[in-house]
Amino acid sequence: MFVDGVRTPFGRAGEKGMYWNTRADDLAVKTITGLLERNPSLPPARVDDVAIAATTQQGDQGLTLGRTAAILAGLPMSVPGFAIDRMCAGAMTAVTTTGSGIGFGQYDVVIAGGVEHMGRHPMGLDADPNPRFLAEKLVAADALNMGNTAERLHDRFPELTKERADRFGMLSQQKVQAAYDAGHIQPDLVPVALRTESGWGLATEDEGRRPETTMEGLATLKTPFRPHGRVTAGNASPLTDGATAAILASSDAAKELGLSTKMRMVSFAFAGVEPEVMGIGPIPSTEKALKRAGLDISDIGLFELNEAFAVQVLSFLDHFGIADDDERVNPWGGAIAIGHPLAASGVRLMTQLARQFEQRPDVRYGVTAMCVGLGQGGTVIWENPHHKRYGKGR
Ligand SMILES: CC(C)(COP(=O)(O)OP(=O)(O)OC[C@H]1O[C@@H](n2cnc3c(N)ncnc32)[C@H](O)[C@@H]1OP(=O)(O)O)[C@@H](O)C(=O)NCCC(=O)NCCS
């Protein structure tokens, strides 16, 4: 069961971003302490494991994050922890891995999340890809750059035009602002104290939002990945710093400890695709997860899809015959506006879906899905405990 999820506000990566002087592990710690404060009936010693993901596990993102963050968050020394990496699906994998441990009866309660400080740890820094990738043509040279893989998706599906991608990006910005105005996003943010050259501050909101975005403005942006390309800063997720964490528990432990449960994990799946078009990864992973759950895409009432790139979400929507502006999809916007701190994002999707479930007892099933570098997709299907048929079978 998904008990609760929180995140730090997401910051723009880089020297001008609000977290430039904040350590990555401190962001992760903040989410754990925030979770424990919000769930006082959970005795910290009852946490059986802490899994924290990061894509670049070096420096302040190294040293087995789950363990270091648990110690720094003040959990008893008896609580173990570990680090996880599946690039963008790190936090999602932290949830599915520890959730499986719960399903197998080996854990009662866990904390799972992720962090990525893309300012301090630029994508691919110090990576040393095996030369066999290129020598044996296992992976195309440009497949290691995510923006190029998005351009390749535009090539492969010409109907996914730049105009559609820009419109999707603009709507994401508008939906996030509307969700902020309605107060949907703020309750799951843990404020972070900031130290800047001008003094102390407090991060309380996502920094990179651009609600004033227009189609005219987007049309003028550079295409950094290819001359005359289609992928721009306006239809891609920005480089971002941030952390997320969630409490998962067995239903028995949740009952025993008086923890409310926001979602039930129904099924999950990961799938591999050609790295050159990694953005289509969520299509096979969602098909696999639906099949395992015995569900059809039409059973899904809410989708939280990670917007690594607009074109990549659009390829998913086209595949399943869903309109670009379908109300079930990312109703509060997504990563194009909020940001995508790689290994953290999976739990952001879940946290938002959990809060939407609360407001939408008419929806029984929801999907969280995301694409992953080097050609993968990840999907988790969740059931809404507020639905009248909850737990009653299909
Ligand atoms: C696309 C990308 C290269 C852009 O990086 P960047 O150039 O540093 O981005 P910026 O925020 O500076 O935006 C570039 C310009 O577009 C403008 N811009 C960005 N979004 C805009 C919007 N919605 N409306 C209008 N202008 C916008 C900025 O103001 C900036 O203008 P300037 O050059 O005049 O200052 C970068 O965000 C990126 O690599 N994204 C993908 C990340 C990724 O691969 N993640 C993993 C996914 S699997």
- 3-state SS track over the chain: CEEEEEECCCEECCCCCCCCCCCHHHHHHHHHHHHHHHCCCCCHHHCCEEEEECCCCCHHHCCCHHHHHHHHCCCCCCCCEEEECECECHHHHHHHHHHHHHHCCCCCEEEEEEEEECCCCCCCCCCCCCCHHHHCCCCCHHHHCHHHHHHHHHHHCCCCCHHHHHHHHHHHHHHHHHHHHCCCCHHHECCEEEEECCEEEEECCCCCCCCCCCHHHHHCCCCCCCCCCCCCCCCECCCEEEEEEEEEECHHHHHHHCCCCCEEEEEEEEEECCHHHHHHCHHHHHHHHHHHHCCCHHHEEEEEECCCEHHHHHHHHHHCCCCCCCCCECCCCCHHHHCCCHHHHHHHHHHHHHHHHHHCCCCCEEEEEEEECCCEEEEEEEECCCCCCCCCCC
63-76 tens-digit pLDDT: 999 999 999 999 99
Give me the mean pLDDT over the 90-104 stretch. 98
Q: Indicate if 387 belongs to the active site.
A: no
Q: Indicate if 386 belongs to the active site.
A: no
Mutate to test the pocket of ligand 1, among 221, 313, 338, 372 (most ligand atoms within 8 A of CB): 221
Q: Is the CB of 146 under 6 A from ligand 1?
A: yes
Mean pLDDT of the chain: 97
Give me the mean pLDDT over the 323-329 stretch. 98
186-195 tens-digit pLDDT: 999 999 999 8
Whether the model pTM is above 0.75 = yes
The atom of ligand 1 lying closest to the CA of 372 is 48
Structural domains of the chain, with CATH = 138-185+264-383 (3.40.47.10)
Ligand 1 centre to CA of 9 (Å) is 19
Mutate to test the pocket of ligand 1, among 167, 232, 340 (most ligand atoms within 8 A of CB): 232
The atom of ligand 1 lying closest to the CA of 336 is 23
Catalytic residue among 319, 371, 386, 387: 371
Q: Indicate if 88 belongs to the active site.
A: yes
Give me the mean pLDDT over the 262-285 stretch. 98
135-163 tens-digit pLDDT: 999 999 889 999 999 999 999 999 999 99
